[in-house]
Each structure stands twice: as C-alpha cells, then as structure tokens.
Amino acid sequence: MTTTHDVVIIGGGLVGASLAIALEGSGLDVAMVEATPAAAMPAVFDERNLSFAEATVNALTALGVMQLLRAPTGAITRIHASRRGDFGRVVLDAADHGRSAFGQVVVARDFGDALEARLAGLAGLVRHRATRFTGFAAAEGGHRVLELAGDGPARMRARLVVAADGMHSGVREALGISAARHDYGQVLMVARLRAASAPDGTAYERLGDDGPTALLPRGDRAWGLVHGVASEDAGAVQALDGAGFLARVQDAFGWRIGRLLSVGPRSAYPALAVRARALVTARAVLVGNAAQSMHPVGAQGFNLGLRDAMTLAGLLRACAGAGGDPGDEELLVAHAARRDEDRSRTLEFSDGLARFTANPTPGASLLRSAGLLALAASPGLQAGLAGGAMGYRGDVPAACRPAALR
C-alpha cells in the first residue's frame, strides 16, 4: 500500500512534533512517521531539564503548547557563569535587559506530554506510529518515495520529506548528506537534586576541565543538574552511591547554594557534536538534531532546532497559501539561507565555549580570566550574550518573536 502526502515528517520528538503543530491549518496534507508505539513516549522525553530560551517560549506559547504543561516551569531570571580555577565571573540579570526572565526550565517528560496532548487535538495530521523509515525508492512525478517498516504503510509518497529523526539520522544518511562529527570526550550526568537553598531564578554554569556543572532552577523547588565528567571516568561516577555523587558535584560546583542534600535517578549522555554539511537536497530538509547537534554547554540545542522548525513552517504556510509546491527548490534554498547565520553562530559559540573552557593549560586560564573580567565590565558585550541566550540570533522566525503573542 502506498499513501501520498504533501509533507512527511520523519520523527515525532521535540522538533518534529513542534513542526507538525506549527503546520496546523496550513492547508497542507501532513503526516508524521514515528518509531514509538502509540502507548509509549519517545526516549527523548525523559527526566532531562530543558532550558527554553525566550524565543522558544514565545513560539511554544503561540502554538498552544506551554499552556498544556502540567508541572510548574522555572523562570531563569539570572545567569551566573564562572570557571573553576579562573578569575572573574559573569552575572546577567534579565531585568537589566528589559525582561522578567531569559527563559524557562521545563522537564522533558512534561513537555512531551504537552506536545502529545496538542498533537491529539490536531485536525488533519496523519500519524503513522510504530513505523520506521528504512530508505528511499526511485522518485515518482515530483514526489520522494519512502520505504517503511512496521504498522504503517509499506511505502509513502511525499512532495517534501522532513528529517527530524535525531543525531544519528537514518534519513540524512539515506539522502547521502555527510556530517562532521566531534566527540568531546565527556559524558553529561543529568539528575534532579535538592540543596540547602531552593532555586531563586539563577541558572548556574560552573565550567571545568571535564565539562560544565550546571544547575537550573526547576519549578518544583529542586535544581536540574548537568554534570560533566571525562568519558573514561563515566562508569566509575555512574556507580557512585548518592552520597558519593553529591560529594563529587559539591566539589565541582562549590557552595553557592549551600550543601547539596539529595539527588534523584541519574542519566548519562555522551557529549557529541554532529553537523550536517547541507540542510537541504531535492524535496528534503533536515531540522533539529538531524541537521545539527551540539555540546549542551549554553543550553542551545533544542532552541536552535525549534527555530529550524519555525522557519520552515513559516515558509511552508506562505507557500501553501499561494498554492505552491512545498518541495519547491526555491523554498528549500530560502530555508537554508535563512537558517545560515543563526545556525553558524550558535554552533560556533557552543563548540568554542566547550573546547576553550575545558582547556586546562595555564595560558588558556589567563585568557579565560581576562575574557570573564572584560565581559563583566562591558554592558555591550553582555547585551550580545543575553540576546543569544534568549534565542535572538540571525533571521529570527516570526513565531519566535514577542509579536507572535499579540
């Protein structure tokens, strides 16, 4: 059996689901291919703490997703960044930049539930669940032909294929788009913890030789932890009991929020970067982690991916309104051009920060200290850093701007 759609999104995770919602009412026939069965959630919707930039909050509010979150979010009103062994620190206060908050901290599982609730109410979206993409057949009359396995159709025709299937994208590989990869030699431990001081809106980023130790202000009066360890030490750290793990984090982070009291279950994720060498090809486009994934320092990954989706959605809606072809080459070229500056600057910022802040040499320490002191003394430099943290780089999608909420 072969079905035909205007747009087929491969992947029902954070970015793919957001794109499907953004195309509601566009007039396009949209389908989403999801490997996860209907009774389960994609693995990405776990206990990780997602830091949503202001631009992301704007877009997800306009899409009706933020309103469906059941757990309270944690407002990031202040960002405190420092590096162990270096002089200086940088403190950004949202009020100094005319904002009540730089963004919000959301638990990935709660976000997944909100997306699912929103998807369930979409009219016209066709969801093929427990279905996997396996490859492409020969193109037919202005359509890509997808081959599938699982509970859905065996074949599907699409005027546009959107790869939203993650860092190890099978669609990207099948399209013949190569990717540059880098392993930072770090593993990020993620957990929920409690401390003597409850969150006050400050997001802490304490950098070190083995990566960052970040504490994010959750909405449940707990802290969301990301703790970087060297890859070769990850097994031993994961095997520590709760007291031993807390002692390690306390040593890395310090005493800014007092004694760390308890920690919940821990998850571990390798710190990898993958950058596709092209965003588009004939009747296909990459978004989210299929297009690029990055080191989590600075918390830019999902925010960048959502801006991919919102840019594409805006172009597709305009195209549909004019009766155009969603897989048109000019549209795809325009998408890649609009994403270029934001993507390049965000990836370079994340990669540079991850590499430079983990460099243990004395020369790097002196440069970092000088940089922290200069940044702390320059309102202009701080404004640029704050703008990036809020998701305002390059060509900002209309859905991500404050005007989207009016």
> In the chain, what are the domain boundaries?
2-180+272-405
pLDDT for residue 268 = 92
283: left (phi over 0), alpha (psi -120 to 50) or beta: left
Kind and range of the H or E run holding 86:
none
Instruction: Indicate the pLDDT class of residue 385, thresholds 50, 70 and 90.
Output: confident
pLDDT for residue 224 = 95
* Top-confidence residue, 382 or 26: 26
pLDDT for residue 184 = 93
pLDDT for residue 298 = 67
Question: Residues 69, 72, 78, 79: is their CA dihedral positive or negative?
Answer: negative
Residue 1 clears pLDDT 70, i.e. is over it: no
* Top-confidence residue, 383 or 216: 216
Check if the beta carbon of residue 372 is closer than 8 Å to that of residue 82: yes
Return the top range by mean pLDDT from 44-53, 265-274, 303-312, 383-392.
303-312
Q: What is the mean pLDDT of residues 6-13?
A: 96
Q: What is the mean pLDDT of residues 134-140?
A: 94
pLDDT for residue 372 = 67
Pick from 352, 103, 305, 74: nearest CA to 207: 352
Check if the beta carbon of residue 245 is closer than 8 Å to that of residue 216: no
- Alpha-carbon distance of 13 to 252, in angstroms, equals 32
| CATH code reported for the domain at 2-180+272-405 | 3.50.50.60
Q: What is the mean pLDDT of residues 148-166?
A: 94
Percent of the chain's residues with pLDDT above 70: 96
